[in-house]
Structure 1
Amino acid sequence: MRKQSRIVLVTGASRGAGKGIALAFGSEGDIVYVTGRTQSEGAAPLPGTVYATAEEITKRGGQGIAAICDHNDDAQVQALFERIQREQGRLDILVNNATHIHDDLIKPGAFWSKSLELANILNVGLRSSYVASYYAAKIMSENRSGLIVNTGSFGSSCYMHGPAYGAQKAGLDKMAWDMAHDLRPYNVASAAIWMGMLKTERTDAVMAAEPEKYENFFDLAESPEFTGRVISALYESSSLMEKSGYTFVGAELGQELGVKDIDGKQPISHRDMLGSPLSFSAAVVE
């Protein structure tokens, strides 16, 4: 374990990908702030609370700090970063993971036949990541060190769950590219990491409803902790700044950095099946 714990913020960590990512940092002894809105078990359709995540981080040897935060409220987000600055004096890693997921997301049908509330993923998901990065960059640029990661998806390159989901994921990739330009002089990096199929509370529920349809899912899926391990290794990599701005398939970056999943397996890339990250122009127009 390194001599100094890193200060990490993972947004949207009551359950799912955010929880897994946060637990991975907890296992490395880091001080991990986790945000969420679920304060008590049963208050949400899926299991998990922000307090339970923080408690598990501490059990693993880190320090979990629960922060109730609605990422649709800029004032709450600003207060969170002011708290981190006040309590820690720095922020080493921000993982933008908070996302609005509507029950209609994976239902069949055209986008106009589903709830208009699906568009809220552009607020809590895309805009909220910009706002969190805005405040994180203020802290990191002063300390001239840090990493901002947007959790992404192959939905950036293929049709997945409809246009709102796709626009949000594609936006996160471009945001990482553009932020890298502004952050580079301050030795702060940004990146987007595409996660594969994940074993989460939500997928457990979906599989339980249609077991035959998803019988091969677990052979292809990775744990959410894998992404946390990859982000940790990226932060410690000597090539961090060289990788700043790019979008990575998590499975491929994990293989490059020598990171395996919690079961000891090497997750596979779905590039051939679902597509590749886009290449953005290096041109700069001020």
Structure 2
Amino acid sequence: MTTETQPLSGRIALVAGATRGAGRAIAVQLGAAGATVYVTGRTTRDKVSEVGRTTETIEGTAELVTAAGGTGIAVPTDHLEPERVRALIERIDREQGRLDVLVNDVWGGEHLLTFGTKSWEYDLDSGLRMLELGVKTHAITSHTALPLLIRTPGALLVEVTDGTAAYNTTRYRENLFYDLAKNAPIRMAFGLGEELKEYGGTAVCVSPGWLRSEQMLAHFGVTEENWRDAVKDLPDFGVSESPVYVGRAVAALAADPGRARWNGRSLDSGQLAKEYGFTDADGSRPDSWGFIVAKETEPDTRVEDYR
């Protein structure tokens, strides 16, 4: 392997919330670029989280990272428990002495989510749990990991959310708690970007488009191999993207020596694909958010024009 094929060789990354979906793909693509990647989450081969999926585990993610060309290290971690996160960061410091990339992708709140219910009619415990999973976990992880991260000039912090700043701040996401949970990472990246400037660090928020996560595929009753079968019933699903796409987006950011130009920004996988020239796993270059916005004013907008 060369520095061209593995530009992140020697770099240390932590992907918090890497069990499945975007987090898993980000970890794998960082590994493909040569990084050593610590992957965390609550679902292991011995224990299942409240999400209730047994197929994807952090051990499985770590093995995929290693198979891709990196080094995957699975560490079971509940990011709502500060002492567990502290132990994780102390381990990374002890074993590696540095942290170059921190990805905050902790979520796992889909099973709590319903749209179209007024906030005062929504189950309060479910709403507050979404805020814990999508906001509190990120705050705990950043607070604990940043002292190690800033030791390395040029370090990168990536907040992962659903939606861009341009989209989320001008549209209601049809559930108040979800809206708050998905806007918070955008603001976190902005604020942490301001704090990291003097240390030569960069913080950004990255959103995938319409993501074909394991849970989304299951919802439509398809697999990654035959996902287009769902387009017959929902044509707009044709603009969706595999998790590989956002994984490649974050890997491209991490390998870019000029990434500081993005500091504090809200970015998305389609936008970064145009900037860095990568494609999705099938060779396409979908622009989900471009399509979604265009469709609001032009109902006849074609999926084909955004792939």
| TM-score for the superposition, normalised by structure 2 | 0.82
Select which of 115, 118, 137 maps to 2:146.
137
Select which of 217, 221, 235 maps to 1:216.
235
Q: Structure 2: how far apart are the matches of 1:231 and 1:140?
A: 17
Match of 1:279 in 2: none
Q: Structure 2: how far apart are the matches of 1:111 and 1:85?
A: 42
Report how far residue 189 of structure 1 moved.
0.4
Give me the identity figure in percent: 32
Residue 142 of structure 1 aligns to a residue whose secondary structure is coil
Conserved? CA contact 2:115–2:175, under 8 Å: no
Match of 2:77 in 1: 69
Q: Structure 1: how far apart are the matches of 2:258 and 2:7?
A: 19
Q: Which runs of 5+ in 1 are unaligned?
A: 276-286
Report how far residue 111 of structure 1 moved.
3.6
Conserved? CA contact 1:22–1:32, under 8 Å: yes
**Residue 253 (str. 1) matches residue 267 (str. 2):** no
Residue 74 of structure 2 aligns to a residue whose secondary structure is strand
Select which of 173, 177, 192 maps to 1:160.
173
Deviation >6 Å, runs of 4+: none
My pick for the range that moved more, 103-112 or 187-196, is: 103-112
Match of 2:285 in 1: 266
**Residue 128 (str. 1) matches residue 142 (str. 2):** no
Closer/same/farther in 2, CA of residues 191 and 26 from structure 1, 3 Å limit: same
My pick for the range that moved more, 12-21 or 102-111, is: 102-111
Closer/same/farther in 2, CA of residues 232 and 3 from structure 1, 3 Å limit: closer
Closer/same/farther in 2, CA of residues 267 and 121 from structure 1, 3 Å limit: same
Closer/same/farther in 2, CA of residues 236 and 153 from structure 1, 3 Å limit: same
**Paired letter, 1:26:** G
Q: Structure 2: how far apart are the matches of 1:3 and 1:249?
A: 21
> Equivalent residues in 2 for 1:93-104 (5 A)?
93-104=101-112
Q: Which runs of 5+ in 2 are unaligned?
A: 1-5, 223-228, 295-307
> Equivalent residues in 2 for 1:181-192 (5 A)?
181-192=194-205
Report how far residue 272 of structure 1 moved.
5.8
Q: Structure 2: how far apart are the matches of 1:179 and 1:22?
A: 22
Residue 121 of structure 1 aligns to a residue whose secondary structure is helix
Match of 2:261 in 1: 242
| TM-score for the superposition, normalised by structure 1 | 0.88
Report how far residue 214 of structure 1 moved.
5.2
Q: Structure 1: how far apart are the matches of 2:83 and 2:293?
A: 38
Residue 143 of structure 2 aligns to a residue whose secondary structure is helix
Report how far residue 239 of structure 1 moved.
2.6
**Paired letter, 1:260:** T
Residue 150 of structure 1 aligns to a residue whose secondary structure is strand
Provide the alpha-carbon RMSD of the alignment.
2.4
Select which of 32, 37, 44 maps to 1:32.
37
**Residue 45 (str. 1) matches residue 58 (str. 2):** no
Match of 2:297 in 1: none
Report how far residue 213 of structure 1 moved.
8.2
Select which of 199, 219, 244 maps to 2:212.
199
Report how far residue 161 of structure 1 moved.
4.8
My pick for the range that moved more, 102-111 or 1-10, is: 102-111
Q: Structure 1: how far apart are the matches of 2:7 and 2:268?
A: 27
Conserved? CA contact 1:71–1:128, under 8 Å: yes
Residue 143 of structure 1 aligns to a residue whose secondary structure is coil
Match of 1:9 in 2: 14
**Residue 22 (str. 1) matches residue 27 (str. 2):** yes
Report how far residue 38 of structure 1 moved.
0.9
